[in-house]
Structures are given as C-alpha cells and as structure tokens.
Structure 1
Amino acid sequence: MDQPPRHPTTVSRKGPRELVVTRRFDHPAAAVFAAWTRADLFRQWWAPKSMGAVIAACEIDARPGGGYRLTFGEGAEAMTFFGRYVEVTPPHRLVWTNEEGEDGPVTTVTFEDDGGRTLLVMSELYPGEVPQDAVAGMEAMAGEQFGQLDSLLAARA
C-alpha cells in the first residue's frame, strides 16, 4: 500500500486569475532551485511517470532574457512548450512566461529556505480567468511531479 507523501502538494485558486501550488521539501533551497534550472535534472522529474509522458528534448537557459523549451513525444505527436525567463534570483525565485498559446500564464516559483528545508510556492497568473482545464491538469499532475522531484533530491543528497 502506498504511503501518503510526507509533505502533501496543495493546489488552490487565489482569485479568478491565479492558481497556486505549494509543497515542502526536506532539502535546501539551492538543491531544489538547481532541479528547476538544470536541464539534466529537470527532465528527470517534470513529466509524471504515470501518464507515460517522456521529455524528448529539454533546453533551459535560466537567466533573465534566457529561455526554455520542452518537447514531449516525437514526430506528429510531439508537443512543445516554451517561454522566456523574466527573473532569475538563485536560489530564491524564478519567473517565466509560457508562450505556447495566447492565454499562457506567467509562472513564479519561490524557494523559501527554512533551515535546510524548502517551502516551494508556484503561482500561475493568467491574463484572464484561470481555465478549468488548467486547474484539473494541475490537480492531476502536481502531486506526482513534486513527489518525483522529492525522490530525485533524496537520491542526490
């Protein structure tokens, strides 16, 4: 029987335009930040394994004005997500755009260090009301993604 995660992932709305995800990690902020900004680490945890999604390509240039590009699948089935980093403040804060559609949110992730542990808060601010499919998708995926991130961090500790 699966044990519940030690630190659950919460997904909530903060007003009509913002979706917020929080999770605690028993790892320093610098380690959690690195897993978000290094392509070799990011590709190991971002795609939920239960969904069979595979990151075929991952490019991350985590600096203000730099960009990211993630491709899932191959050929006609491939989906690519991309955007620009607006703010990068190691190991405390990342802000990026999501440019694959007109209604893409701006994502902000903060990494609050708490004596070797980290409180991660990810906020997605949409130009209009948060689409219902974004809420459902985040609720379906975030717990597994962050569980995979926690496992990666534990293996690297």
Structure 2
Amino acid sequence: MILDPRTDLTFTRKLKAPRDLLWECWTTPEHIRQFYVPKPHSVTGCEIDLRVGGRFNTTFDVEGNEMKSEGVFLEVIEGRKLVFTDAYSEGWKPAADPFMTAIIEFEDDGQGGTTYTATARHRSEESRQTHEDMGFFGGWTTVAEQLEAYAQSLMARA
C-alpha cells in the first residue's frame, strides 16, 4: 500500500496475541465493545455484516453523549485485512460528511504474535490534520493496547 503523508495517518505495533484471535475480536460485535474506543468512553452498539458492502455500524458513549458511525466494508481478506469507511452506509448510500476510511492489517510475526497496522485515510490534508489534532496516535495506540489486553484475557480463559 502506498501511503500519502498529506492525507494518511498510520502506525504499526507488535501485539502479543495470535492473528486469528485479533481478527475474531475485530469482526465480532461483542468483542468490538471491549476495545474499540479509548476508555472511559464505551461502545454501546455494534452491527457487523462482514462482507464487501456489508454494514459496520457503531454507537459510542463519549462523556454522556451518544455518537453514531455508520459505514461499510470495502475490503475483507479473511484473517488479514479489513477496510471500512463512513463515506457510505449500507446500500452504498453516500454520507453527507464522511470522516475517514480505515485499513486494519494483521500479519503473523512468527513468534505467536501479530504485526498490527492501522491506517486512516482522509479526503483532504485538513481532515487528516483534524484527526491528528484530535489524538489519532494516542487514541489508536490506546485502542491497540486495549485490543491486546482483551485478546490476552480471552487466551487466559481458554
């Protein structure tokens, strides 16, 4: 993937959890609720139809305010890659004010863990800067850490 530093934000982390489990966490509504937004915020609703054109809708509680995000999957490569956007909702209905397209990639690290890459693509340099100013790196790093901790808790239960 070719990144455009003017419009893309990205980071890569090594997570101490197997790729298949991280994939399951990212593709199951009950799991998404456990890690998808930095605490103390929470996911109060999630709908996933895991196919190209299928919905990826989430509802968040952020400091007592309900926020909704409706989107669709643009690419699904089983166990390896998810691409979703809020530029469209289910049925390819264009959004009035889209924010980003997210690309989540999972790669075995050869040691039982996963190389995890999250990229946010934006329509303009201004929207990219807004996302960075909102705390992209801190927020998405926190989400990755919460994902890792949650996946490890599932491994401990097994």
Q: TM-score over 0.5 for the alignment?
A: yes
Determine if contact 2:23/2:79 at 8 Å carries over to the other structure: yes
Please tell me the residue identity of whatever aligns with 2:124: G
C-alpha RMSD of matched pairs (Å): 2.1
Distance 2:96 2:16 in 1: 35
**Secondary structure at 2:71's aligned position in 1?**
strand
2:68 is the counterpart of 1:70: no
Pairwise CA distance, 1:101: 5.4
Determine if contact 1:30/1:90 at 8 Å carries over to the other structure: no
Pairwise CA distance, 1:39: 0.6
Pairwise CA distance, 1:70: 0.9
Compute the TM-score of the two structures, normalised by the length of structure 2: 0.80
Please tell me the residue identity of whatever aligns with 2:15: F
* Partner residue in 2 for 1:156: 154
Please tell me the residue identity of whatever aligns with 2:41: A
Distance 2:150 2:57 in 1: 21
Pairwise CA distance, 1:146: 1.3
1:101 to 1:123, Cα distance in 2 relative to 1, 3 A: farther
* Unaligned 5+ runs, structure 2: 88-94
Q: Which moved more, 1:28-37 or 1:65-74?
A: 65-74
* Partner residue in 1 for 2:139: 141
2:32 is the counterpart of 1:35: no
Distance 2:152 2:52 in 1: 29
* Alignment coverage as a number of residue pairs: 142
Pairwise CA distance, 1:103: 4.3
Determine if contact 2:32/2:43 at 8 Å carries over to the other structure: no
Displaced runs of 4+ in structure 1, greater than 4 A? none
* Partner residue in 1 for 2:15: 25
